[in-house]
Amino acid sequence: MRHERTQWNIGQGGFHTASVLSSTRDSDPLFRYVYDCGSLSSGHPDAAIAEYVTSAGSAKNVDAIFLSHIDADHVNGLPRLLDTHGVEAEFIFLPLLSPAQRLLAASQGEEKVSDFMVNIAADPSSALREFTSANVVQIQPGEGPSDAGDGRELQRIGGDDGEPRASIVGKTGDWIPDGNSNYRLKDDAGIRVETGSGEPHWLLSFYLEREALDKSDAFLKLLARRLGEDPITWPDQIDQATVRSLLTDTPSLKVLRKVYADVGVDVNRGSFMLLSGPSWGTPCENIRLGTMTAHLGTATWLLTGDAKLDTEAAVVSMREHLGPRIQQTGVIALPHHGSGVNFHSSILDVGDSVHLAFAAAGESHRHWAHPHPSVIKSVTSAGVTPWVVTEGLNSKLVAEARVHGR
């Protein structure tokens, strides 16, 4: 089995693409996926998306797109990927948020909120279906640890040609149809890519932060007061129309921004994380860091979005949920672009195999201190190589793994 992936040089944002391939066939990938698609850096991710689509050729469609959360720098490239370049996705996964929580996620920033961000904050499924016919799956916390490795098959992905492909696996009750190709899925489920008899599976395990958006109640009550609404009843009445109105009406948006600043809401709570790697076997992964190369005896990556992994308890919760497979992690995407307030050093303590920790951060956004010097110090002190993916071509992170089975 082979696995190829790229963390694209898009500056302040996230755009990670990957494919699972059979080692015995030269055909199209068995499973192609994307984790996040957005950037705040001018001109990026347009160039990276165009290069990705060109390199994929006729096999440009993807089986799954995973969105860690709905911040602009993680999702604003989707219209270009899906509409401009005509990429079709079979499934799009994102966290399940209430209208009020989506309003909070779209409240940061100083500029006018884009039409796409207004639409996805108001109604994610409708916003995404302006560009794609994909099944939209919203992730919610499950009751137990990840069952991605040996769970029952809940839903097939691809495989119309009769070839073994992939399936969503988990426990009975994890897969909840809501109608019109909308689903809810508990995060103790996952995706299993079947590469053939006698070969290991490729597994994608999920984890959704348990802690809700920080200070959301205080934010909504103060916002209600400043809008002349009842702070007791109004927060529970926020619906799609309210979200759309607040984000598009200029006076309301100014109030929204001011309350956001005054309360200090942390919108990065609730990121959807992905652990991607083989189920077993002897992997060997070659990583290209600009003009340098590295060779790892593991092929498992942990992608964290903008997760708030700032305490040992938060890290322990993630590790307990993902189970023993997290001990195989060789590469970690530092949470929130390496932010110092989203990081606890115990995130690096997932066994002896962690060799690389990277952050996708923009050179033009250095005033945000992404990654923070304290984080880089912790990474290097742990004997792990730090890497920053910026707008520069030589910062792009490319990896290919080969996993030998029986």
Shared-domain flag, residues 109 and 128: yes
| CATH number of the CATH domain containing 171 | 3.60.15
The CA–CA distances, whole Å, from 137 to 91, 206, 352 equal: 7, 13, 34
User: How far apart are the C-alpha atoms of 197 and 267, rounded to whole Å?
Assistant: 44
CB 232 within 8 A of CB 119: no
Average pLDDT over residues 262-273: 78
DSSP string, 337-393: GG-GGGB-GGGG-S-S---EEEEE--GGGGGG-SS-HHHHHHHHHTTPEEEEE-SSG
Residue 96 placed within a domain: yes
Q: Which range (44-48, 173-177, 392-396) has the least confidence?
A: 44-48
Q: Are strands 135-140 and 182-186 parallel, antiparallel or unpaired?
A: parallel
The pLDDT tens digits of the residues spanning 61-80 come to 999 999 999 888 999 999 99
CB 146 within 8 A of CB 170: no
pTM of the model: 0.95
Domain of 377 in residue numbering reads as 2-211+273-404
**Between residues 377 and 72, the one the model is more confident about:** 377
CB 109 within 8 A of CB 258: no
Residue 268 placed within a domain: no
Helix (H) or strand (E) holding 7: strand 2-7
pLDDT band at 24 (very low <50, low <70, confident <90, very high): low
pLDDT band at 224 (very low <50, low <70, confident <90, very high): very high
Tell me, what's the pLDDT at 267?
63
Residue 282 placed within a domain: yes
Reply yes or no on whether the pLDDT at 58 is more than 80: no
CB 341 within 8 A of CB 310: yes
Average pLDDT over residues 87-103: 91
pLDDT band at 202 (very low <50, low <70, confident <90, very high): very high
Reply yes or no on whether the pLDDT at 160 is more than 70: no
Tell me, what's the pLDDT at 151?
85
The residues facing 401 across adjacent strands are 3, 285
CB 24 within 8 A of CB 41: no
Helix (H) or strand (E) holding 169: strand 166-170
Shared-domain flag, residues 59 and 199: yes
pLDDT band at 195 (very low <50, low <70, confident <90, very high): confident
User: How far apart are the C-alpha atoms of 62 and 274, rounded to whole Å?
Assistant: 17
Average pLDDT over residues 210-236: 85
User: How far apart are the C-alpha atoms of 289 and 101, rounded to whole Å?
Assistant: 37
Amino acid at 3: H
**Nearest-10 crossing angle of helices 250-263, 216-226:** 140
Reply yes or no on whether the pLDDT at 379 is more than 80: yes
Of how many residues is the chain composed?
406
The pLDDT tens digits of the residues spanning 276-285 come to 999 888 889 9
Residue 308 placed within a domain: yes
Tell me, what's the pLDDT at 301?
96
Both structure tokens of 65: 């797109």
The pLDDT tens digits of the residues spanning 345-370 come to 999 998 678 999 999 998 878 888 89
User: How far apart are the C-alpha atoms of 299 and 96, rounded to whole Å?
Assistant: 29
pLDDT band at 158 (very low <50, low <70, confident <90, very high): confident
Tell me, what's the pLDDT at 34?
97
Tell me, what's the pLDDT at 246?
93
pLDDT band at 381 (very low <50, low <70, confident <90, very high): very high
Shared-domain flag, residues 234 and 281: no
Both structure tokens of 255: 């109030």
Reply yes or no on whether the pLDDT at 269 is more than 70: no
Tell me, what's the pLDDT at 197?
66
Which residues, 6 or more positions from 93, have their beta carbon under 8 angstroms from its beta carbon?
A: 64, 65, 66, 67, 137, 138, 139, 185, 206, 272
Domain end point (choices 245, 263, 281): 263
Shared-domain flag, residues 251 and 345: no
Domain end point (choices 263, 291, 325): 263
Shared-domain flag, residues 193 and 113: yes
Domain end point (choices 263, 282, 299): 263
Shared-domain flag, residues 164 and 231: no
Tell me, what's the pLDDT at 274?
97
Shared-domain flag, residues 390 and 296: yes
Closest Cα to residue 205, out of 37, 350, 22?
350
**Between residues 194 and 126, the one the model is more confident about:** 126
Shared-domain flag, residues 346 and 238: no
User: How far apart are the C-alpha atoms of 263 and 224, rounded to whole Å?
Assistant: 13
User: How far apart are the C-alpha atoms of 192 and 101, rounded to whole Å?
Assistant: 30
For residue 119, which phi and psi values (nearest 5 degrees)? -65, -40
Shared-domain flag, residues 163 and 187: yes
**Between residues 241 and 268, the one the model is more confident about:** 241
Closest Cα to residue 336, out of 271, 389, 265, 244?
271
Shared-domain flag, residues 277 and 330: yes
Residue 64 placed within a domain: yes
CB 331 within 8 A of CB 357: yes
State how many domains the chain has: 2
Shared-domain flag, residues 196 and 280: yes
User: How far apart are the C-alpha atoms of 218 and 265, rounded to whole Å?
Assistant: 9
**Between residues 169 and 291, the one the model is more confident about:** 169
The pLDDT tens digits of the residues spanning 302-339 come to 999 999 999 999 999 999 999 999 999 999 999 999 99
User: How far apart are the C-alpha atoms of 399 and 365, rounded to whole Å?
Assistant: 26
Q: Which range (64-78, 177-191, 279-293, 371-385) has the least confidence?
A: 279-293
Shared-domain flag, residues 163 and 121: yes
Residue 123 placed within a domain: yes
Residue 290 placed within a domain: yes
Residue 386 placed within a domain: yes
Reply yes or no on whether the pLDDT at 23 is more than 80: no
**Which of helix, strand or coil describes residue 140?**
strand
CB 272 within 8 A of CB 206: yes
Q: Which range (135-139, 140-144, 316-320) has the least confidence?
A: 140-144
